[in-house]
C-alpha cells in the first residue's frame, strides 16, 4: 500500500472535514458529541488551509486522513511559542487505521518543521485517552511536557490536554 502525503486540494475540504469529525466522534473525543461546538472547527478545512498548511494522506487514490501543520504565529497555533511549530487535528479514517497513514502525516510535519527557518521544536496537544497516538508520538521521539498541559475550555475543570514536544535536529545542507 502506497501512502502519498500532499497538501489538501480545495475539492477535498469537505471529505477531510468529515473524516476528521468522524474520527473525533467515533473515538469519543468530543465532550458534547454531535452537539459539540468544536465539530464546526474540525469540519472547516477551508479555514484551516487559509491559516496553516493542511496535509492529507492519500491511500489508493483516496483521502484517508489529514493533519494541520501550524508554525508559531499562525492563527491555527494554540500552544506553539516562537521557534516552534504545532501539529493539530491529526485524524485518520477508521477503515484506514493501522497502515501507517498517521505516522506518515506526523513525519511530513516534522520534515516541514525542519525545513522552516528558526524552528527548533514541534509541539502538539492530545487527550489522555488517545493512547494509540501517545505510542506513535513516543516512537517518533516526542516526550511529555506536563508543565505545558492546558485546558481549552476553562469553564470545564475536567478537560486537560496533554502536551508533547520534540526538539529538532536541523538537517545538514
- Give Cα separations from 57 to 19, 22, 77 (angstroms): 11, 16, 21
pLDDT at 30: 83
Q: What is the pTM of this model?
A: 0.92
pLDDT at 153: 75
pLDDT at 150: 86
Quickly state the pLDDT bin for 55 (edges 50, 70, 90): very high
pLDDT digits (tens, 9 = 90+) for 104-142: 999 999 999 999 999 999 999 999 888 889 999 999 999
Average the pLDDT over 15-37 and give the result.
89
The Cα 30–Cα 158 span in angstroms is 13
pLDDT digits (tens, 9 = 90+) for 56-102: 999 999 999 999 999 989 999 999 999 999 999 999 999 999 999 99
Burial 86-105 (b: 16+ CB within 10 A, else e): bbbbbbbbeebeebebbbbb
pLDDT at 21: 96
| Neighbouring residues of 81: CB distance < 8 A, sequence distance ≥ 6 | 72, 123
- When mean pLDDT is compared across 3-7, 15-19, 31-35, 140-144, the lowest value belongs to 31-35
pLDDT at 47: 97
The Cα 158–Cα 163 span in angstroms is 16
pLDDT at 166: 98
pLDDT at 1: 64
pLDDT at 65: 98
C-alpha cell at 54: 493542511
The Cα 100–Cα 98 span in angstroms is 6
pLDDT digits (tens, 9 = 90+) for 138-158: 999 999 999 999 888 777 667
Residue 43 in this model has a pLDDT that exceeds 90:
yes
pLDDT at 72: 86
The Cα 123–Cα 143 span in angstroms is 10
Contact 1, 60 (CB under 8 A): yes
Amino acid at each position: 500500500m502506497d501512502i502519498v502525503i500532499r497538501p489538501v486540494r480545495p475539492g477535498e475540504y469537505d471529505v477531510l472535514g468529515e473524516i476528521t469529525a468522524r474520527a473525533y466522534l467515533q473515538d469519543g473525543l468530543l465532550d458534547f458529541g454531535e452537539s459539540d461546538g468544536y465539530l464546526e472547527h474540525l469540519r472547516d478545512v477551508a479555514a484551516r488551509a487559509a491559516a496553516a498548511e493542511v496535509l492529507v494522506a492519500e491511500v489508493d487514490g483516496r483521502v484517508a486522513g489529514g493533519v494541520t501543520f501550524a508554525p508559531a504565529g499562525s492563527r491555527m497555533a494554540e500552544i506553539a511559542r516562537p521557534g516552534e511549530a504545532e501539529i493539530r487535528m491529526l485524524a485518520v479514517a477508521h477503515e484506514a487505521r493501522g497502515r501507517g497513514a498517521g505516522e506518515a502525516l506526523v513525519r511530513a510535519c516534522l520534515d516541514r518543521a525542519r525545513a522552516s527557518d528558526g524552528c527548533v521544536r514541534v509541539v502538539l496537544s492530545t487527550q489522555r485517552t488517545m493512547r494509540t497516538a501517545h505510542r506513535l508520538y513516543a516512537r517518533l521521539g516526542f516526550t511529555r511536557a506536563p508543565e505545558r498541559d492546558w485546558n481549552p475550555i476553562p469553564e470545564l475543570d475536567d478537560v486537560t490536554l496533554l502536551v508533547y514536544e520534540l526538539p529538532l535536529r536541523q538537517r545538514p545542507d
